[in-house]
Amino acid sequence: MASGRPKLDPLIGGLTRPPMMLGVPYVLFVLECCVVVLIFINTKNLLMFLLFPPIHAVAYVLTVRDNRFVDVILTRFGKCPITRNHRFWGGDSYQP
């Protein structure tokens, strides 16, 4: 009897996973490094590099469930801008 769940092949997940660095996608890792370096440049305080572990922990928590979280968010905001009537309809409506 079927359990109601589709049979998943672990090979597919491995082939579609983005490149990772310390457990987060490479794009997000570079972004968090840039943020920490920019904060350091503006403050000229070496202690700002201690911000990296908490920022990395947040990034790790965001990507534990979905490795493509960053790609989904970038695609969402890049391809689907919020329309002017978003607040009225409670969502994006392209025709009234």
Tell which residue, 68, 53, 79, 66, has the closest CA to residue 18: 68
**How is residue 4 annotated by DSSP?**
S
What are the domain boundaries of the chain? 19-81
Q: Which pLDDT does position 1 carry in this prediction?
A: 52
Phi, psi of 20 (to 5 degrees): -115, 150
pLDDT score recorded for residue 61:
94
- Indicate the pTM of the whole model: 0.69
CA angle 11, 13, 18 (to 5 degrees): 125
Check residue 96 and give its pLDDT.
Answer: 64
Element (H, E) at 21: strand 20-21
* Per-residue confidence in pLDDT tens, the chain, 96 aa: 557 777 766 677 677 888 889 999 999 999 999 999 999 999 999 999 999 999 999 999 999 988 888 888 888 888 887 778 888 888 877 776
User: So what's the pLDDT on residue 86?
Assistant: 81
